Chain A
């Protein structure tokens, strides 16, 4: 029996030895393959199972927060504002990553262990999060979204003196909550329905989609006159309804074949295309292109969320072979396109004496003890024009509201500077969809601007009647300005 017991000992030695070999295989030789296998979601869970700081509007409304839940991730990201703030916060999704502020301020939002500075800190430490306060005003965001209604489009509201974005709306928006769900099926079906929707709800139209800016670009053209060739301002253009363009038989005509002319302020007031086409050709490709670049075209605005697109104005050499295009570019058509953010920055630049401030959504970041650890410091992005030019352009834009194309947004007692834009995109070669991209850029009060706004309502099914910047974008501008400037 003793021998048998020894043999049992030997058997156990072999069995446990085999286990040891298998453990070495799993945990050493094959460990990396297992740890990084696509089905092994541990790394993802690791990142997603920490508390995450809240995102708030400037007035303290919570628009993203983490709530403790009883599953492997421990915390669920929710967005109490729903689709209203979807493009601001972005989403924080297990399967689809992070966008918006969730992505750009991840290092502050995610849970981290603070440095231990005291003995009591040693016992009370744990994962803490910072909270992010945005520059967004919940009131203006709501008003802008409501005013846009069911229309596809975008609104960007900026504080000209700081570059703080007070509202950023893109319609249709999306609710980030289902994308942050811990249930793979909810997440995937939400993603499916968002990505298969032809209106592209996930596209942030405010910063990522450029449309022909139409006549709102005339702000830049006007600024170019005073910066590069002030003599043009002394010319009075005779009233015409259409002009011939050089090197082509094509003719450029005014909106509805109206006849217009005069000096620059009158041309701007009625948005005279024939006049500005001639101004463009007189200014020349180099001057106009330089001015567009000075206002931020052809660069991605340094906003603190990912996904912003550059707005485009052709390089000067492009017009050497395409002189007629210069006429179209001067009125914001042809090869020019701009995002709502870019046009808001154009407005804000003029409003701020020619200085475009870096646009930003972060106001401050507070740590878990409610101490401010990062306070946004306003920075100049571009010197777009001189303050003298800005002053002249402002006064001419005030004229647009006083009996010009933007007369509809006038608010008694407040001096508003604005410019409408109606880009007749059917002018483009091969386009069969009729309709226009409708714009308005405005800032107020004109003598000391506190708010600049750009609204775009691109061509879309469902818009009826004659569409112009004034009719489609104007009411949105007016609602936001009223909310911001009229007390009560």
Chain B
């Protein structure tokens, strides 16, 4: 048995009885569970979903009443879809992942519903599209649960995924279908629908990082600038990752998008640090970040502009700082409890439904609403990290970590950008902001996390969890 094979064995054989586990035996068949409310997790989930639906209904009625002064009588079909979709997800979990954690689905449904209500109030046409994309997202969620019966399956296709990710990243540069929006060439247009392939590519890259790092962690862990020989080994091991990473960075430079460049770079650096426990990667990464930021600020007007605006938006309140200044006004006007759903004027902020939806929530629901959103994201990040801590094997743990990082950092960056805590990076607020690709990607992301969550619970049912992860060996 060569080392690679040993590693393979090591990665999956975390439990003595893993070869006899149910999922392994039925790997190529869709394993359906019998829906039952006797499972306390699903019962809890259903209860929370009903509560979520009530909240969604109230938010919808309040927002429309505030906007028009009339209690809405004709409820658009898209609103009904938004109310029904969470139950389809619930049914999917009942059938396909009955032991998954009950907390995330009600939370993401709440975020999706809240975002939809805000978009409906700002732009009914976009809201109908958002509902359509939510449905596509839920289909993606269910398909992911059906296809990825065991998350370790993904490990096998890592290079395929990397190639696919690179293809997706390159897609907007293609002449006919690629499209420039707000100076960034991130979109692909098919008829009336625009799509940001990078949102999906981001997921695939994250899984590739996880898979590759778990396999090469021992080699990678030896990286140190003081030991040249070992460093050269590490660099050789890190080669493919560096390649994938630099290609995506390069392409994103060509596509003029700071947000995703930064996001993927940070996920890469943190993931390699988590996998190896080698602090040098953080030092090295920070150095690279400083150099990259400096070069980007010099080379790209957009980066320079965002930093300038961040330092003093008031100076440019009528020009390049207009958007952020309007967002800050919105937060201020909202105050502690907000001006009331439907009663504010978030339409004063340009492109409010995608990048600045958080400011619209801040204006209409105040600190109470923004804190609620913040808590939802914190809870979802907490859920993701708990999944990775309880994951049955190294690859699952690493995948869960990287996926959580993707989700959490994206949420943090856009919220920090809109509140002027950090310069603005044009990423979307997961589940809340208008954007089809982002919705679909995040539904798939949570399907994977819930799959891992379900697996760990199922395995823990048979054996008490024991620490069987490979100790770092020299």
Is B317 within 8 A of A39, CB to CB? yes
A72 to B347, CA, bound (A): 6
Given A1-B275, A1-B394, A5-B389, A30 and B332 touching (CB < 8 A)? yes
Given A8-B274, A16-B378, A46-B345, A28 and B371 touching (CB < 8 A)? no
- Chain A residue contacts of B405, Cβ below 8 A: 8
- Chain A residue contacts of B246, Cβ below 8 A: none
Report if A96 contacts B (CB, 8 A).
no
Report if A33 contacts B (CB, 8 A).
yes
* Count of inter-chain pairs, beta carbons less than 8 A: 142
**Chain B proximity mask over A14-34: 1 for CB below 8 Å, otherwise 0:** 011011101110111011111
- Chain A residue contacts of B374, Cβ below 8 A: 16, 19-20, 23
Report if A41 contacts B (CB, 8 A).
yes
Binds B, one of A102-110, A123-131, A271-279, A342-350: A123-131
Report if A42 contacts B (CB, 8 A).
yes
- Chain B residue contacts of A33, Cβ below 8 A: 332
Q: In angstroms, how far is the closest chain B Cβ from the Cβ of A22?
A: 5
Given A1-B397, A18-B421, A123 and B332 touching (CB < 8 A)? no
Is A27 within 8 A of B325, CB to CB? no
Report if A49 contacts B (CB, 8 A).
yes
Nearest residue (CB) in B for A27 is: B367
Q: In angstroms, how far is the closest chain A Cβ from the Cβ of B345?
A: 5
B-contacting residues, A66-120, CB 8 Å: 72, 111, 113
- Interface residue tally of chain B, by bracket? 35 or more
Report if A35 contacts B (CB, 8 A).
yes
Report if A307 contacts B (CB, 8 A).
no
Report if B29 contacts A (CB, 8 A).
no
Q: In angstroms, how far is the closest chain A Cβ from the Cβ of B275?
A: 7
- Chain B residue contacts of A28, Cβ below 8 A: 335-336, 367
Is A27 within 8 A of B277, CB to CB? no
Report if B415 contacts A (CB, 8 A).
yes
Chain A: residues with Cβ within 8 Å of the partner, total of 44
Is B382 within 8 A of A22, CB to CB? no
- Chain B residue contacts of A49, Cβ below 8 A: 345
Report if A40 contacts B (CB, 8 A).
yes
Binds A, one of B64-72, B105-113, B150-158, B449-457: B64-72
- Chain A residue contacts of B388, Cβ below 8 A: 5
Q: In angstroms, how far is the closest chain A Cβ from the Cβ of B136?
A: 28
Report if B268 contacts A (CB, 8 A).
no
Given A31-B332, A34-B329, A126 and B397 touching (CB < 8 A)? no
Report if B427 contacts A (CB, 8 A).
no
Interface centre among A5, A113, A126, A127 (most CB of B within 10 A): A5
- Chain A residue contacts of B172, Cβ below 8 A: none
A124 to B212, CA, bound (A): 61
Report if B348 contacts A (CB, 8 A).
yes
A410 to B328, CA, bound (A): 69
Q: In angstroms, how far is the closest chain B Cβ from the Cβ of A125?
A: 6
Q: Chain B binding site: helix, strand, loop or mixed by DSSP?
A: helix
- Chain B residue contacts of A111, Cβ below 8 A: 69
Report if A318 contacts B (CB, 8 A).
no
Is B70 within 8 A of A42, CB to CB? no
**Chain A proximity mask over B321-333: 1 for CB below 8 Å, otherwise 0:** 0000100111111
Is B69 within 8 A of A113, CB to CB? yes
- Chain B residue contacts of A124, Cβ below 8 A: 70
Report if B430 contacts A (CB, 8 A).
no
- Chain B residue contacts of A42, Cβ below 8 A: 329-330, 333, 344-345, 348, 363
Q: In angstroms, how far is the closest chain A Cβ from the Cβ of B282?
A: 10
Given A1-B275, A34-B331, A27 and B378 touching (CB < 8 A)? no
Report if B73 contacts A (CB, 8 A).
yes
A113 to B69, CA, bound (A): 7
Given A8-B401, A23-B374, A34-B333, A126 and B70 touching (CB < 8 A)? yes
- Chain A residue contacts of B335, Cβ below 8 A: 27-28, 31-32, 35
Is B366 within 8 A of A12, CB to CB? no
- Chain B residue contacts of A20, Cβ below 8 A: 371, 374
Q: Which A residues lie at the B interface, using CB under 8 A? A: 1-6, 8-9, 12-13, 15-16, 18-20, 22-24, 26-28, 30-35, 37, 39-42, 45-46, 49, 72, 111, 113, 122-127
Given A5-B274, A35-B329, 5 additional A-B pairs, CB 8 A: A8-B385, A27-B362, A34-B332, A37-B332, A39-B317
13 A-B contacts (beta carbon < 8 Å): A1-B397, A3-B277, A5-B385, A5-B389, A5-B401, A28-B335, A30-B332, A31-B333, A31-B335, A34-B328, A34-B332, A35-B329, A35-B333
